[in-house]
């Protein structure tokens, strides 16, 4: 499978919105993603082949990196795309001197939890009823980059 991990561009927004709608019960809007493109604290990466196959969004504040979303289209899952996006996000955050990178994941999302744990993320907490549609706890996973 041929694809590249590249920074998000204006022309990628429609593909990311499609992924949001495919993958999430509360998707980001076009305007919300466009705003992140122009936010100097945000770093969005896309897995791009013939189209947007996946993406990851990271916001960095005071040396801390927060993964806002990571998504891969159903037709491209199980090909290592999420792992590559996650690895590139961690490398970028480390290069920008972030101390850690963190995210929340639905407690029922066992494939994602397995990925995060295999990439060195540690469970550090729970956010009660963090998700809606359906209501579910979010597990906080963090990878410390300065250890």
Active-site residue (options: 3, 66, 116, 131): 116
Q: Active-site residue 66, yes or no? A: no
Active-site residue (options: 104, 117, 119, 122): 104
User: Is beta strand 100-106 parallel, antiparallel or unpaired with respect to 4-7?
Assistant: unpaired
Residue 83 and residue 88: Cα distance in Å, rounded?
Answer: 9
What six digits make up the tokens of 82?
Answer: 């999420």
Q: Round to the nearest angstrom and report the end-to-end CA distance of the chain.
A: 34
CA atoms within 13 A on the CB side of 135: 2
Q: Active-site residue 116, yes or no? A: yes
Beta-carbon contacts of 147 under 8 Å, excluding residues fewer than 6 positions away, are none
Residue 109 and residue 90: Cα distance in Å, rounded?
Answer: 21
Residue 133 and residue 140: Cα distance in Å, rounded?
Answer: 19
What six digits make up the tokens of 6?
Answer: 């590249």
Active site residues: 104, 116
């Amino acid at each position: 499978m041929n694809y590249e991990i590249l920074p998000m561009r204006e022309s990628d927004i429609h593909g990311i919105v499609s992924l949001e709608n495919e993958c999430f019960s509360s998707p980001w809007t076009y305007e919300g993603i466009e705003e992140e493109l122009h936010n100097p604290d945000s770093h969005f990466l896309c897995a791009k082949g013939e189209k947007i196959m996946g993406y990851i969004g990271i916001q960095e504040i005071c040396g801390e990196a927060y993964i806002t979303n990571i998504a891969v289209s159903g037709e491209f899952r199980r090909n290592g795309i999420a792992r590559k996006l996650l690895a590139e996000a961690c490398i970028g955050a480390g290069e920008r001197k972030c101390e850690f990178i963190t995210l929340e994941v639905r407690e029922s999302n066992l494939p994602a939890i397995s990925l995060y744990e295999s990439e060195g993320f540690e469970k550090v907490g729970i956010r009660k009823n963090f998700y809606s549609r359906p209501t579910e706890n979010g597990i906080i996973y963090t990878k410390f980059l300065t250890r």
